[in-house]
Amino acid sequence: MYLNLIQIAESFGVSETVVEGWIRDEGLPHTPDRGRLLFDRAQVAEWAARRGLAAKAGFLAPVTPALGTSLRIGPLLRTGGIWRDVLAVDVPAVFERIVTALPGATPPVRQLLGQRLRAKGGVTMAPVGGGFALPHPSARVTLGRDSGTVALLLLRDALPLVDAIPDGVPITRLCFFIAPSPRAHLDLLGRLSRSLVRGPLRELVAKGAKDDEILQAVDTVDATSADALKPGGKS
């Protein structure tokens, strides 16, 4: 799994400038690709472990989440919904419709989020491989614990991207999310990425399984995460 500069910065909770300094001064493994930088997840994790950077989040979080959050994906997905046969050209409009129905947010906040999503660079489109991507607002927001949403978009045609896709597989599966806080954003980013890299949820979404099958798999992900956070749970 390859990550970009923004995802690496998010994962460590530092600025992109700091990551660039690590490349220059600390030998952070990276691969130049058409004017941008790509990072192999396993190589970065190994590099970080050698330097004692163990408090990782987001895409570099351990398999068992380290953040003690009660945020569950299932209720968020039931709010955002599963959208089928979406044309790639209609994806921005679907994002806006999802924001319009965002729970726990006032109309001005929804309007602001919509404006941010429409702005150039307002959405970070993070590929996770195999035709999947995790789009999310580029700017972090604090909405309150009762807000936030997750939506699955099953596209009818491939999503055109400006940047090349690391594995070359056209993107047809999107998991769009808005987290209630910057901390929850990192946790949700990591949990969704792990669930969609491999496992039952990925397989169900890939084949366009029925809504109830996908939701049941998401509930299983939530239950596994909750068990891991209990005293004596796996770490």
Provide the CATH number for the domain around residue 167.
Answer: 3.40.930.10
Domain final position from 60, 84, 106: 60
Nearest Cα neighbor of 169 from 119, 133, 216, 201 is 133
In a domain, 35, yes or no: yes
Neighbouring C-beta atoms of residue 117, cutoff 10 Å: 21
Give the separation between CA 116 and CA 123, rounded to whole angstroms.
8
Residues 153-164 have pLDDT tens digits of 999 999 987 666
Residues 95 and 199 in one domain: yes
Q: How confident is the model at residue 235 (pLDDT cuts 50, 70, 90)?
A: very low
Domain shared by 112 and 178, yes or no: yes
Most confident of 22-26, 46-50, 200-204: 200-204
Give residue 232's Cα distance to chain centre.
28
Phi/psi of residue 119, each to 5°? -70, 155
- Exposure string of 42-57, with b = 16+ CB inside 10 Å and e = fewer, is eebbebbeeeebeebb
- In this structure, the answer to whether residues 101 and 191 fall within a common structural domain is yes
Q: Pick the last residue of a domain from 21, 38, 60.
A: 60
Residue 68 lies in a domain: no
Question: Residue 37 sits in a domain of what CATH number?
Answer: 1.10.1660
In a domain, 206, yes or no: yes
To the nearest whole percent, how much of the chain has pLDDT over 90?
32
How many structural domains compose the chain?
2
pLDDT at res. 142: 74
- The two tokens of residue 11 are 């994962």
52 lies in the same domain as 138: no
**For 136-148, how does the pLDDT look when each residue is reduced to its tens digit (9 = 90+)?**
988 777 777 778 9
Strand order in the sheet with 123-129: 82-86, 149-155, 173-178, 132-137, 123-129
Whole-number Å distance between alpha carbons of 228 and 222? 10
Say if residue 45 is in the same domain as residue 82. Answer: no
Q: DSSP character for 63?
A: S
63: pLDDT strictly greater than 50 = no
Residues 10 and 109 grouped into a single domain: no
Structural tokens at position 179: 């987290």
pLDDT of residue 100 exceeding 80: yes
AA identity, residue 146: D
* Domain presence at residue 130: yes
What residues make up the domain containing 22?
2-60
In a domain, 145, yes or no: yes
Is residue 211 assigned to a domain? yes
* 152 and 86 both lie in a single domain: yes
Average pLDDT over residues 162-174: 81
Cβ contacts of residue 133 below 8 Å, gap of 6+?
125, 126, 127, 159, 171, 173, 174, 175
Same domain, residue pair 194 and 121: yes
